[in-house]
Amino acid sequence: MAVQISDLFHRTPAKRIFAGQCPTHGDVDMTEVEQLDGSMLARGCKRCQWEALHNSPRDSEAFARARAQADTERATAALVAAGITPRFAEATFDNYVAETDEQRKALAKCRGYAEQFPAHFRAGRSMLLTGNVGCGKTHLASAIVRTLVADRCRALIIPASDIISIARASMVPGSGYTDRDVVLHLGGLEFLAIDEVGCQKGSDYELGLLHAIIDRRYQAVLPTVLISNLAPENLKAYIGDRALDRLRQNGGLIAGFTWASKRAAA
Ligand SMILES: [Zn+2]
C-alpha cells in the first residue's frame, strides 16, 4: 500500500460527522472540525453552508459568514499541517513576553527573521535558537511558522524525536515508505524548524538522519531553523561541526536564550 509521505508529517484537522436537525433542511449530517487549540467546533448544517457559499448573493450577510468560516477553516488547516500544536495555538510575536534586553533581543531576531523571510529564503539562510528550557524558543519558532504559513509558505515545525520515529517506522515491513523518503520530503520543504534537537541520545542512526536532512536542505539552498536546549558548544559536540557549519553559512543567524526559565517549576 502506497503511503503519502506528506500525510505522515502534515496532519489534517480531525472531522466528526453526526446526525442533526436543521430548521430549513430537516434531518441532515452535521459536522464538527478540530480547532487549533484541539477543541472541536460545530459547523452547522452542511447544506445551509453550501447554499450560502454558492447560491446566495455575494453581498449578503449569509455569504460573508460562510466565506469567513471557510477562510478560517483553511487557515486552521494550514497551521495544523505546519505542525502548530494546541500548546502553541496562540503563540505570536505580539504575545511573547519580553521583559529584559536579552529577551527583547531574541524576540527581535525571530520577528526580523520572519519579516525578512523572502530575503532569507533566497539566501537559504538558517537560524539556531539555542538555550535554556522554558525560555520560549518553541513559542517564537511557532510564531515564525505562523507568519510564513500566512504567506502560503510550505513550512513545518517538528520535534527531532518525531522525525526519528517516523523514519524508524519505515523499517517495519509493509510500511510503504523508506527513511530516504523522509529525508527527501523534509529536504524539500520551503521552511523547516527542527525542535528539541539534542534531547535524544544521539545514536549514529539519529544523527545520520538529521545530518542527511540538514545537508539536503543546504544543497538545495533552503532555510532550516534548529531549536535546542544545548548551549552552542554542546550543540556543536552533539550534531557535529559539518552540520553546524551548514546552518551558519550565508550569514546564518543565532538567537541565544540564556536567561533562567520563565516557566514555573510546574
Ligand atoms: Zn440547513
Q: What CATH number does the domain containing 235 carry?
A: 3.40.50.300
How far, in Å, from the CA of 73 to the mean position of ligand 1? 19
Same domain, 230 and 131: yes
> How close is the Cα of 75 to the center of ligand 1, in Å?
24
Residue 94 sits in the same domain as residue 207: yes
76 and 63 within one domain = yes
Cα(79)–Cα(94) distance, integer angstroms: 18
Single-letter amino acid, residue 168: R
Residue 189 pLDDT greater than 80, yes or no? yes
Range of the domain at 246: 86-257
How would you classify the pairing of strands 253-257 and 127-131? parallel
| Same-domain status, 161 and 99 | yes
Mean pLDDT (whole number) for 193-221: 93
**Domain end marker among 52, 81, 110:** 81
Ligand 1 centre and the CA of 23: distance in Å?
7
pLDDT reported for residue 180: 96
Q: Which three cell numbers stand for residue 143?
A: 510564531
pLDDT in tens, 173-186: 999 999 999 999 99
Largest CA distance in the chain: 66
Q: Are 147 and 114 in contact (CB under 8 A)?
A: yes
Burial class (CB in 10 A: 0-12, 13-18, 19+), 100: exposed
Ligand 1 centroid–CA 63 distance in Å is 14
Residue 264: pLDDT band with limits 50, 70, 90: very low
- Higher-pLDDT residue of 27 and 1 is 27
User: What's the pTM?
Assistant: 0.91
Helix (H, G, I), strand (E, B) or coil at 129: strand
233 — pLDDT class (breaks 50, 70, 90)? confident
CA of 14 to the centre of ligand 1 (A): 22
Residue 62 host element (H or E)? helix 61-81
Per-residue pLDDT tens digits for 124-170:
999 999 998 888 999 999 999 999 999 999 999 999 999 999 999 99
Indicate the SS3 state at residue 249.
Answer: helix
Q: How far apart, in whole angstroms, are the C-alpha atoms of residue 127 and residue 149?
A: 18
**Domain stops at, among 81, 96, 127:** 81
